[in-house]
Amino acid sequence: MAGGVTGGGSATWSDRFEQGLHPAIERFNASIGFDITLLQEDLDGSIAHARMLAQCGVISEAEADQLCGGLEQIRAEAAEGRFQPGLEDEDVHFAVERRLIALLGPVGKKLHTGRSRNDQVGTDLRLWLRRRIDELIPQVKTFQQALLRQALSHRQTLIPGYTHLQRAQPVCLAHHLLAYVEMLERDRQRLEDVRKRVNVSPLGAAALAGTPVPIDRRSTAAALGFESLYANSLDAVSDRDFAVEFSAAISLVMVHLSRLGEEVIFWASEECGFVRLSDRCATGSSLMPQKKNPDVPELVRGKCGRVFGHLQGLLTMIKGLPLAYNKDFQEDKEALFDVVSTGSQCLEAMTILMDEGLSFREDRLEAAVAADFSNATDVADYLVARQVPFREAYQIVGSVVKQCLSEGLLLRDLSLDRWQSFHPAIESDLYDALAPRQVVAARTSEGGTGFDRVQEQLSAWSERLDLANG
């Protein structure tokens, strides 16, 4: 194997080693194939470390300038596609250091003073994840805005509300969509909260015990934008709680996307027919020319499994690890990279779906809410308003529904005489109370689906999400 950072026959390692790794073990051990993703963060962390070493008098300002210049040259080479580390570099950290030594000679060997790959990789990973969180939070907001635009267009539209996937009560479609806006707001808050625990610097904890080199950890933390630093060096290099927390937060994002996706799949079915899918977000069948398939929500629903799997994998990976650093931690990166990628792609796809991939069929929705017994509770409420105890009213309406089902009638089809045979308090104004639009409008409790309450929420969310026309 080619000489690594130290230039010896054992490549990367000290002269304690006389032979290089077995080729198969070299491949098994290497992470350069995926942790090259952390290159920019590794360069940022190394530049901050070099500047701090000079500030503390460990190296000269001239040497720091050389190191930073070399690191920026590597950044430029990477941008031009000329930095192509291979398997012999093992990981991104050694790849950078090896190239730096090739560029600068002995000065390049001073960069690693006062740090270890253990605190280095922890720093890189936190910097990388912090940037990704800062990209994901606006993505969640963008999806909320797409949902809100649909809600604003359907503030007077009705849709059947379900419990147990059985028709329950009609609701305002805007109210239904705003439920997802609320879920996603919790997702945004979780990501913002996780970011606080990501934004803690482990740099300077070295391998596990700190370093006798007179470094200034607070200087590098400030230079890299960390809000605080780990108080315990053992914890600093072995903490991956933030990776689990982040994966859990994205898992909940995926849950919410999948729940909405399941509803879209249901709404788009011929049996339901509440939405039409546009050609922009649907595919056809290779065999059946009439079909239009809801691939976007189906894929989102399916991709939940990989995100959930990464969360479980991270938990399993860290559950039995003794302090401090263990090679097992190499397994955190591919999981985190894929959680970020999958979550971001699904948010983007669902935003496009909501903005231009579907349209609600108001005629089908109107017909649906008018042709069921989802107004039965309103008969009970009507009787309660006339001093009939609720449980008695509940039993009366159950009898009415049973009779209607046996005769193939809806509640609205019964004559006033028939109604009064069930209870004399019923009068002709019951028919107005049974109208689906009135059923919805009557739900005026705070947080309810009544049109006035929904309008309050539309206005509030329009302000919070920076949308006009609330």
Tell me how far apart the alpha carbons of residues 95 and 74 are, in angstroms, rounded to a whole number: 10
Sign of torsion over alpha carbons 293, 299, 301, 302:
positive
Tell me how far apart the alpha carbons of residues 87 and 27 are, in angstroms, rounded to a whole number: 7
Tokens of 341: 């990628």
Q: Residues 409, 410, 414, CA angle at the centre, nearest 5°?
A: 80
Tell me how far apart the alpha carbons of residues 162 and 168 are, in angstroms, rounded to a whole number: 5
Beta strands in 46-91 (DSSP E): none
- Return the number of other C-beta atoms located less than 10 Å from residue 423's C-beta: 18
- Angle at which helix 241-268 crosses helix 117-153, to 10 degrees, equals 30
- Angle at which helix 92-104 crosses helix 39-55, to 10 degrees, equals 60
Say if residues 151 and 239 touch (Cβ distance below 8 Å).
Answer: no
Question: Is 444 strand, coil or helix?
Answer: coil
Tell me how far apart the alpha carbons of residues 317 and 247 are, in angstroms, rounded to a whole number: 14
Q: Residues 381, 386, 387, CA angle at the centre, nearest 5°?
A: 95
Q: Is 112 a catalytic residue?
A: no
- Angle at which helix 61-79 crosses helix 39-55, to 10 degrees, equals 170
Q: Which position among 60, 278, 285, 459 bears the catalytic label?
A: 285
- Angle at which helix 117-153 crosses helix 39-55, to 10 degrees, equals 130
Burial 103-113 (b: 16+ CB within 10 A, else e): bbeebbebbbe
Say if residues 125 and 203 touch (Cβ distance below 8 Å).
Answer: no
Tell me how far apart the alpha carbons of residues 318 and 276 are, in angstroms, rounded to a whole number: 46
Say if residues 251 and 311 touch (Cβ distance below 8 Å).
Answer: yes
- Phi and psi angles of residue 101, each rounded to the nearest 5 degrees, phi first: -65, -40
Q: Which position among 164, 286, 428, 445 bears the catalytic label?
A: 164
Tell me how far apart the alpha carbons of residues 45 and 223 are, in angstroms, rounded to a whole number: 9
Please report, to the nearest 10 degrees, the dihedral formed by the alpha carbons of residues 343, 346, 348, 351 taken in order: -120
Q: Is 164 a catalytic residue?
A: yes
- Phi and psi angles of residue 141, each rounded to the nearest 5 degrees, phi first: -65, -40
Exposed, middle or buried: residue 216 (CB in 10 Å: 0-12, 13-18, 19+)?
Answer: middle
**Catalytic residue positions, numbered:** 164, 285
